[in-house]
Amino acid sequence: MEFFEALNGRRATRAFSPQPVSRPVIERQIDAAIQAPSAINEQPCDFAIIQEYERLDRIAGAAKELMSNVAERAPPRSIHAHMHDPNFNILYHAPALIVVSARTGEWAVEDGTLAAENLMLAAHAFGLGSCWSGLAQRWLETEDGRRAIELPAGFMPIAPIIIGYPSEKAAAVPRTPARTRWIGSKIEI
C-alpha cells in the first residue's frame, strides 16, 4: 500500500469479524511501531498483545465499570448511554488488543503515541482495522489493569489499540482544512 493511501484511508474501526489475526501479521505491526522516532533514541516501548477472548472480555468489562462509576473519568456525553447498555463492549469484540506502553519518563507519552500511530497505519496496510480504545485507557492505568497486561515495573500504558479484520468498511470522516499561520516571511520557491 502506498504511504498516502494508508494515511488517508486509515479510519477508526469499531466493527470486527471474529477472525483472529496471525502472529506474523501482529509481529509486522510491532516492527512498524518500533520504527517510530523516540526522544533521545531511547526506544522505550513495550507491547502487550492480548488475543484470548476471555481476558479481552474481562478487560472490557472492568474498563466499562470504571468508566460508568467514576464521575471524573466519565466518558463524553455522546457515548454515555453506551456505558449502561449491557451489550456494549468497550473493545468492540476485537480479536486482539495491543497495549503500547513506555518506560516512565518525561517523553513516555510522546514516544508511545508515535509508536501507536505507526502500528495503526501498519494495521491498515495489512487490511486490518484498528482503534485507540480511550475508554479502556484509564482502567489499564490501575493496579488491576497493569496486572491484566503484565506490565513491567517502571512502565506506563500509553495506547490500547484494538485490531482485527473489519466486518464493515469504516466511513470516511470529513476533515476540516488545516489552520495554518505562516510566521515571518514566506519563502516562495
Q: What is the pLDDT of residues 117-140, one digit of tens each?
A: 999 999 999 999 999 998 899 999
Q: Which residue has the higher pLDDT, 11 or 25?
A: 25
Contacts (Cβ under 8 Å, ≥6 apart) of 46: 100, 101, 102, 103, 151, 152, 155
- Nine cell digits for residue 42: 531511547
Q: How confident is the model at residue 74 (pLDDT cuts 50, 70, 90)?
A: low
Angle between helices 23-33 and 108-125 (to 10 degrees): 130
Residue 77 has pLDDT above 80, yes or no: no
Residue 91 has pLDDT above 60, yes or no: yes
* Mean pLDDT rounded to a whole number for the chain: 90
Nearest by Cα to 33 from 89, 82, 101: 101
- Nine cell digits for residue 16: 470486527
Judged by DSSP in three states, 108 sits in helix
Q: What is the pLDDT of residues 155-186, one digit of tens each?
A: 999 999 999 999 988 888 888 999 988 888 77
- For the four alpha carbons of 75, 80, 83 and 88, in that order, the dihedral sign comes to negative
CB crowding 17-27: b at 16 or more within 10 Å, else e: eeeebeeebbe
| Chain Cα centroid distance, residue 132 | 3
- The whole-number average pLDDT for the span 20-46 is 94
Residue 42 has pLDDT above 80, yes or no: yes
Euclidean distance between the first and the last CA atom of the chain, given in angstroms as a whole number:
31
Q: Is the pTM of this model over 0.85?
A: yes
Q: How confident is the model at residue 47 (pLDDT cuts 50, 70, 90)?
A: very high
Contact by Cβ (8 Å): 116, 161: yes
Q: Which residue has the higher pLDDT, 82 or 101?
A: 101
